[in-house]
Structure 1
Amino acid sequence: MTDYLQAVLAMLGPEEGRLADPAAWLKLEGELGRTLPSDYKRIVDAYAPVQINGHLSLAHPASGSWNLGAEMRSTSATWAGSSWESHVTGPDDDPRVFCALPQLGFGTPEGLVPLTSTDQGARVFTAPQVHGFSEGVVVQGSEGDWVGHPMPFAEWLYRYLIGEEMAGWDSGTFYPGPVRMEYPHAVPGRPVREACGPERGM
């Protein structure tokens, strides 16, 4: 059985660990009223804030810019006021159905909590359950389509990085070679620092 967390860490390479701060997570989880997936926090602590392969962004709760708590609050407020259900065509793509929720909330203990996004318009959430799987992943793709992935975040990220269709309809794109990472400067407006993971043999 694949250990997807270790597979992701191996794919991304040496950990940065610049902002790892248990107190920042405790504060954020206290505000949310729920804990966040442990594999997600491990990956965020290891590398965030970072943009991966030019598209997927990970923020950190202890960061000044790219602050995860601020992004979660802003995103949740936007989605709570949106017409998210306009893209639902039936029970198969209704997050209320595959998350077993009578009503869909955002940034709430029992609802969807935003974890990350892509610059191509996909938004990635976690939910208390997805198709019966605890702390699964929910994605609304750039076309507005909803899909539930009954798997931990680390598995979702691994599959995303190897080019599977994990960020919505027709989203699978494989970038050969090492994973490319861009680390924003602590001072806004300064150049980003680029790094690459190890050779993947892909």
Structure 2
Amino acid sequence: MTDYLRAVIDMIGPSDDRCADAVAWLRLESELGRSLPADYKSIADMYGACQINHHLYLDRPTDGWRDLGTWMRRTSQLWSQEEVVRQGVEPHLDPRVICGLPTITFGTAQGLIPLAGTDQGHLIFLAPQVHEVPDGIAVLNRELEWTGYALPFAEWLYRYLTGEEMCGWNSAVFYPGPVHREHLPTGPGQQTRVVHGPPRGM
């Protein structure tokens, strides 16, 4: 059985900016009313705040300008004001069906929690369940269509980086060669740093 957390780390490469702040995570989880997946926290600690392979943004708590908790709150507040279920939507695109929820809320223990986003307009959420599998990934794409992945975050990210369609239909983005990381400024005087992962034969 594949250890997808290990596979992601091996693919992206080591980080010289790892920051594990257990207190910050506990504070954020207390605010959310639930724990966040361990694989997600490990990946965020190792690589946030950065943009991975030109599109996917990943942050972590206490990262100054790019604090994960602040982004989660703002994103949840924004989407709480939007109509997220289209009239007459087909069941396989209805987030209530995908996540087994009577109503969709954001940033709550029994709702959808934003984990990451892309510059293509995709938002990646943690759902209490996806297709009856606990702690799955629900994605809202730029066409405001929902897709569910009954996978842990590390496996979702691994498949995303290997070019599978992980943000809905026709969403695959693949860059051959080493994974490209841009570590983003989180405070005054900092600059973007570009790092490449190890060769991956792709």
7-16 vs 107-116, greater mean Cα deviation: 7-16
Alignment partners' CA distance in 2, 1:139 and 1:146: 6
Alignment partners' CA distance in 2, 1:185 and 1:107: 26
Q: Which residue of 2 aligns with 1:138?
A: 138
Q: Which residue of 1 aligns with 2:108?
A: 108
1:157-188 per-residue CA deviation (whole Å, 9 max, x = no partner) reads: 00000000001221102100000000012335
Alignment partners' CA distance in 2, 1:52 and 1:88: 35
TM-align CA RMSD: 1.4
Alignment partners' CA distance in 2, 1:196 and 1:87: 44
Q: Which residue of 1 aligns with 2:175?
A: 175
Alignment partners' CA distance in 1, 2:198 and 2:32: 35
Q: Which residue of 2 aligns with 1:51?
A: 51
Alignment partners' CA distance in 2, 1:9 and 1:153: 13
Does the 8 Å contact 1:141/1:169 carry over to 2?
no
Q: What fraction of aligned residue pairs are identical, expressed as a percent?
A: 53
Unaligned runs of 5+ in 1: none
Does the 8 Å contact 2:161/2:174 carry over to 1?
yes
Alignment partners' CA distance in 1, 2:187 and 2:37: 29
Q: Which residue of 2 aligns with 1:70?
A: 70
1:112-138 per-residue CA deviation (whole Å, 9 max, x = no partner) reads: 000000000000000111111111000
85-94 vs 112-121, greater mean Cα deviation: 85-94
Q: Which residue of 2 aligns with 1:2?
A: 2
Q: Which amino acid aligns with 1:85?
A: V
SS in 2 for 1:46: helix
Alignment partners' CA distance in 2, 1:49 and 1:65: 10
Q: TM-score, normalised by structure 1?
A: 0.96
Q: Which residue of 1 aligns with 2:14?
A: 14
Unaligned runs of 5+ in 2: none
Does the 8 Å contact 2:56/2:118 carry over to 1?
yes
Q: Which residue of 1 aligns with 2:39?
A: 39
SS in 2 for 1:154: helix
Q: Number of aligned pairs?
A: 202
Alignment partners' CA distance in 2, 1:128 and 1:73: 18
27-36 vs 163-172, greater mean Cα deviation: 163-172
Verify: 1:200 aligned to 2:200, yes or no.
yes
Alignment partners' CA distance in 2, 1:151 and 1:46: 20
Q: TM-score, normalised by structure 2?
A: 0.96
Alignment partners' CA distance in 1, 2:87 and 2:56: 23
SS in 2 for 1:85: coil
Does the 8 Å contact 1:65/1:188 carry over to 2?
no
Alignment partners' CA distance in 2, 1:146 and 1:23: 33
36-45 vs 16-25, greater mean Cα deviation: 16-25
